[in-house]
Structure 1
């Protein structure tokens, strides 16, 4: 189930119209429609935070459904349980922060990101990542890594 379907089911279960939810969450009703129709992509963490309470679901669950957080394993701890992290707003205006957040669950990609994040020739591409979903960001970084690995083998 993709995020649009997930969100649509939550709205239906609460029996909200888009306008009702928009009013409760303090966001535009047309944006809700675009999210449901897949035209707006994955909403930002700030929008998810606004949607969580009226939909009766935790912010963390919405973040997982949107692909911003991965499921915790038995040896992992949710960073949101620590007040200094939970209360720090995420800054996704900086594309490198969004990329980091998207790939932290994959140590190999995170290590590769540390290597390439300072390259001048890739800065424009990183700026374009601002509009991608976390899953798409992972795919792009994997493709870059595959190309880099192939060039290293030549």
Structure 2
């Protein structure tokens, strides 16, 4: 498969995944190695709920300190929500949503989400896996990617 075809395939798989790089770059060296790429794709395509929870938590933990803070939550939700031009203070609704989210997910009530808090909330309500924005491919993109990648190499046409 040529570079252009691979790039197009991976773009379709990750088009809504804004923070993909951070989740794949496990050693935080600013590069995604081949092994990091393969491991990342493994989680994307065949990952267990546990693997997907760990991946999403790492993506949402913007500063890498092991917690999702109120500020990180605000930043992610602010980027994820559509705003109405008529709103006086568009951030007010986001602040309310952050409070509701923390109330729902912060099990130890310390004002931030640990992986334990996040995991318990997701196990109780799986829709919370991507509570702060998309970071996993949608099922349609995943199926299209797999269909192209796992085709007989003799049948692969150029894109």
Task: Decide: shared fold, TM above 0.5.
Answer: no
> Could you tell me the TM-score, scaled by structure 1's length?
0.31
> Could you tell me the TM-score, scaled by structure 2's length?
0.31
Higher helix proportion (structure 1 or 2): 1
